[in-house]
Amino acid sequence: MRVPAPQWRVLPRAPRRRAFPTLRERLRDSFLFAPVVGLACGFFLATLTLTIDAEIHDHAVDTDDSSLLEYIDNVGGAGATVIGTISSAMLTFIGVVFSITLVALQMASSFTPRVIRLYVRNRVTKITFALFLCTFLFALRVQKGRFTAEEAKPFISSFIAMGLVIACLVLFVVYVDSTLRMMRVTHVIATVAGETARELWYLEHGADQGEMGVPVAVVDYWGPGGVLRYVDVNRLARVARRHDCVVKLVARVGDFLVNGTPLVEVYGGDPVPPPFELARALHLGTERNMHQDFAFGFRQLSDISARALSPAVNDPTTAVNAFDRIHLLLVAAVRLPLGTRAHCDRKGAVRVIEAVPEWSDVVDLAYTETRLFGAGSPQVTRRLAASLDDLLAIAPAHRRAPLERQKTLLREAVEAAYRDVPDRAFALQPDRQGIG
């Protein structure tokens, strides 16, 4: 008899949901905000240091401090030359960073175009561009605002410029290290799996929705087409509380909505919430993201696995590496409540029921494409067989059927791919490393 293992936490502790999640996600997906902030900081910092330089010079003149004036003249004169060199060199440095980023993006697209978002959201890249632009504009501003030889010299400004250059050099080393790590497919796989695990963690805290009965109204979507990227659950809950009803989302985050797509079902309520109030809680875009959409993580990992198994690439080891993370996520999700997730208002009454993928949907997404494309690779089929055995050993009874079906389909795919019985037996032998 197999002794059940203790229930260790397999999901990381996720951070608390922050305020203004939509704005935060938009800023993370944008590559414009950080560089603009860097330019603004460079301009205002240069204006501040030039003002300080003028005040120090005026103070030395008013007090007739010849030693201070001589020191300012010597340091400021050399600093003016250094600042001129910095302003001309930083533009070339920015071009180097931009070229490295383009090469990294091209490498990332070879894994799957969906993971390019990781590079766009990378904080190190954004901070590097922001600091380099800040230093460049600072040097230009100080050069332009420098006074004549009889007046103030860039005394404080030269020290600030040197400090910014040192910071740029240190950050450039960090940026190169970060970019090299992100060009490795194993790092991309681990990052996607980590984001997916954090989204899965929130499924543990769903409320019991109870019996719903028959909906009194079904609201369809009417508006510009797009991908449902985010649902403001708190706003929906407030709308449902005002109308004393329960709002059940029919569309899932990640669905592409067009006119006439069923959007929500309303249970109870007098009157029924107007469609425009419900639509305000939905945010559409051109592509999916990971926020509230853990299935997108499985989608990306499956894409990496499928592309690695294509005849043009023929890299089953990468497919096995991707499936290692898929296996980890399936173990985390096997006991989680799936299908729907209920949200309560402040008084504990269920107001919003969010649609999430069913367990069978997750299993199909995890296995189907890797099984179809990797049936001819024993390394892949042995890894799939090992994962199915592990999941069947811990899955509750009501979640074993999709796994049993995938095991049957795997056996049939292997039998179709190999004519010799010994090859079939070898390809179906469970092995967590595939073949070593």
Asked if 154 and 80 count as a contact pair (C-beta separation under 8 A), the reply is yes
Q: In sequence order, what are the residues at sequence separation of 6 or more whose Cβ sits closer than 8 angstroms to the Cβ of residue 146?
A: 50, 80, 83, 153, 154
Mean pLDDT of 113-129: 83
Backbone angles phi, psi at 115, to 5 degrees: -90, 0
Domain layout of the chain by residue ranges: 21-183
pLDDT in tens, 165-205: 999 999 999 988 888 888 888 888 998 998 898 888 777 66
Q: What's the whole-number mean pLDDT along residues 214-223?
A: 84
Q: Is residue 112's pLDDT more than 80? A: no
Can you tell me the distance from the alpha carbon of 123 to that of 33, in angstroms, rounded to the nearest whole number? Answer: 12
Q: Is the dihedral of CA 77, 82, 88, 90 positive or negative?
A: negative
- Predicted confidence band of residue 229 (pLDDT cuts 50, 70, 90): confident
Greater confidence (259 vs 68) lies with 259
- Of 250 and 53, more confident: 250
3-state secondary structure of 315: coil
Q: Which of 28-32, 37-41, 369-373 has the lowest mean pLDDT?
A: 28-32
- Are residues 157 and 50 in contact, defined by beta-carbon separation less than 8 angstroms? yes
- Range of 23-27, 141-145, 199-203, 357-361 with top mean pLDDT: 357-361
CA distance 192 to 228: 20
Q: What's the pLDDT tens digit per position in 123-161?
A: 888 899 899 999 999 988 888 765 444 455 777 888 888
Partner residues linked to 247 by β-bridges: 266, 352
What pLDDT is stored for residue 205 in this prediction? Answer: 61
Give the distance from CA 267 to its chain's centroid.
34
Strand 245-249 and strand 350-355: the pairing is parallel
312 has pLDDT over 50: yes
Tens digit of each residue's pLDDT (9 = 90 or more) over 36-70: 999 999 999 988 988 888 777 776 666 766 666 66
* Residue pLDDT, tens place only, 396-431: 999 999 999 999 999 999 999 988 899 899 999 998
Q: Is 259 left (phi over 0), alpha (psi -120 to 50) or beta?
A: beta
Burial class (CB in 10 A: 0-12, 13-18, 19+), 106: exposed
Q: What is the pLDDT of residue 71?
A: 62
DSSP one-letter code for 7? -
State the Cα torsion 391-397-398-403 to the nearest 10°.
30
Return the pLDDT at 148.
43
Question: Whole-prediction pTM value?
Answer: 0.79
Q: Which residue has the higher pLDDT, 82 or 149?
A: 82
CB atoms near residue 274 (< 10 Å): 11
Cα atoms in the Cβ-side hemisphere of radius 13 Å centred on 304: 31
Mean pLDDT across the stretch 236-264?
A: 88
| Residue 8 binned pLDDT confidence (cut-offs 50, 70, 90) | very low
Supply the pLDDT for residue 21: 57
Report the pLDDT value the prediction gives residue 367, as an integer from 0 to 100. 94
Query: Distance between CA 18 and CA 12 in Å, rounded?
Result: 17
Predicted local distance difference test score (pLDDT) of residue 287: 84
HSE, CB side, 13 Å, CA atoms: give it for residue 23: 3
Residue 347's pLDDT is 80
If you search the block for the tokens 């028959």, which residue do you land on? 214
Query: Judging by beta carbons within 10 Å of its beta carbon (0-12, 13-18, 19+), is residue 403 exposed, middle or buried?
Result: buried
Task: Assess contact for 380 and 324: CB atoms under 8 A.
Answer: no
Tokens of 316: 């089953």
What is the model's pLDDT at position 72?
65
Mean pLDDT in the chain? 82
With CA atoms as reference, report the closest residue to 182 among 251, 124, 249: 124
Return the pLDDT at 146.
53
Q: Who wins on pLDDT, 177 or 106? A: 177
Section 308-317 average pLDDT: 88
Span 283-293, average pLDDT? 84
Residue 73, pLDDT above cutoff 80: no
Lowest mean pLDDT among 32-36, 51-55, 231-235, 361-365: 51-55
Q: Distance (Å, rounded) from C-alpha 56 to C-alpha 72?
A: 9
Two structure tokens written together for 36: 């603009």
Q: Which long-range contacts (CB under 8 A, 24 or more apart) does 288-291 make?
A: 288/227, 288/229, 288/253, 288/254, 289/25, 289/29, 289/117, 289/229, 289/230, 290/195, 290/196, 290/199, 291/21, 291/25, 291/199, 291/229, 291/230, 291/253
pLDDT more than 70, % of the chain: 86
